[in-house]
Structure 1
Amino acid sequence: MQLGMIGLGRMGANMAQRLHRAGIHVQGFDPAAQAREQVSAAGIATSDTLQDLVHAIPAPRRLWLMVPSTVVDATLGALLPLLSNGDVVIDGGNSWYKQSQARAARCGERGVAFVDCGTSGGIWGREEGYCLMVGGDVGTVAGLAPLFRALAPAMDRGWAHVGPVGAGHFCKMVHNGIEYGMMQAYAEGFALMEKKAEFELDLAQVTELWRHGSVVRSWLLDLGADALRDNPTLAGIAPYVEDSGEARWAVAEAIDLEVPAPVITLSLQERLRSRQRNSFTDRMLATMRRQFGGHAIRKTDA
């Protein structure tokens, strides 16, 4: 089987290398020459243009997009005129499932099949394998099974055809919302232990303890243990947390479906709060406390 990989950032490059090791011929493309050079150094063939990539893959072509969700439509716009009836496009990035449904319809007008593949595994996926949540037509997904088996942790687990187009990215959206909640709970627990000065807790020790036999053990905890072992006080790390956008979609979906999701919602709000260096909300709260109760406020030079 041959595959065209479009997008050779860290995730795309890692996936290409895992497929290459599994004996699948991967032809890569990225607009950045440096990204192409790095993948070429790993023994993977690359093309300098999108048109050259398409010509290098025999029909029916299988093309995997591993690009930011903000450029999927532009990439499809450049790609679709080059494709033929029977080709398949797989979006493995973090796209909104409703956009994936619309993109499938757009591809279908040209006789091109579209598959959405929610991908989890991060930077560890190249060695550990990826969790793949696949949405699409039954026959199309079956034909792509060798790719998913090669990328998953094992041939018989770590990937699944979860439903029609859109289902893959929907499951990944919910997956990331749950991830936000889990990370927030861990972070709050570590903060409690760090604040309890009288016990002089070794957070790396406690985290390592919880990894074995505890009901709260998880891969996230494993990663937390590694981080605390290397940097017990988290020195040099700014209290600023980004979000990929998927939790926002999950919260909006919860509202649309009238499903209470307070943990996911609050964990997203906490990430937004982390970015406020001089919170107007908190200054307003302090002002109101002074107004009604005469409470003292702290002054700042800002």
Structure 2
Amino acid sequence: MTEHAGQDVCAVVVSYHPDPIALWKMITAVAAQVGAVVLVDNGSRGEWQSTLAATLHGAGGALLAQTDNVGLASAQNIGIGWAREHGYQQVLLLDQDSEPGEGMVAALQLALATLSVSGRVAAVGPRFHDVREDRDAPFVRVGFPLNRKLWCDGSAPTVACDFLISSGMLIPMIVLDQIGPMDAGLFIDNVDLEWGFRARAQGYSLHGVCAATMHHRLGDARRALPCGLGQVVVHGPSRLYYMMRNRVRLYQLPHTPGRWIAQDLPRVLVKLLLFGVLIGPRWRNLRCMLRGLFDGVRGRQGEAPVDLLD
């Protein structure tokens, strides 16, 4: 790879039964901006792996193929471990359904360096756009009774926030050494939220960077609500299990802000209504959500029970 500002950055990409063409396109886009790309694949199979492994290895990266699905958090930790062993100072976390914009990493690095002069910065992240939405997603400050949505409106180059989605996060390795790895027990869902809360509790800040852009798909689909009430992001039943179980897990952690817990509790009822009554498969959705709440209270971690997997 040619010399550029991102040479000290290792991109950690996590995949799970990806579209090989889309994955190749995304890795090609980010490879031009970083020093190496390590792909941690969660139990996929396909001829694409051998070709991609050779390409990544030739560019100084690697394909770390897992025999089974170890979960998003564990896969991220595996990739971070590889980056640490190979001397990279920063890691860029990416999902398979993200597409970094041109110059994204350079913009993130510049903002991180600037912000770190006057404070302890845990991570920075890009503003992202879901092609199914009509505007970029906002950054968020936790509030009560509602969160504050903060948009890139030209008034400032960065936006201080309470959490960032994991895809697109640029994190210094020294910060990971202080705050700790992603919570593998969560498996998937709320992994970024938990890590952000942990970082904030330790006195670190997080910032969205308006000059850094990324396309990212949230959820499996969009469904229209009755009576013209708009659209809702739809997830599969097993994903709803993790969402419910892991939010209960966050309620129990000392670094989770009380105001977030207070304004999240009503969302539990809303999700039960939406996906257990209005949006199908209703019975399977409801069963998975209730089991998630029950397992969260019991303290279950890791992969969902086999009978709940999609």
**Range of TM-score over shorter length:** 0.3 to 0.5
Larger radius of gyration: 1
Larger relative contact order (Cα-Cα within 8 Å, sequence gap ≥ 6): 2
Whichever structure has more helix as a proportion of its residues is 1
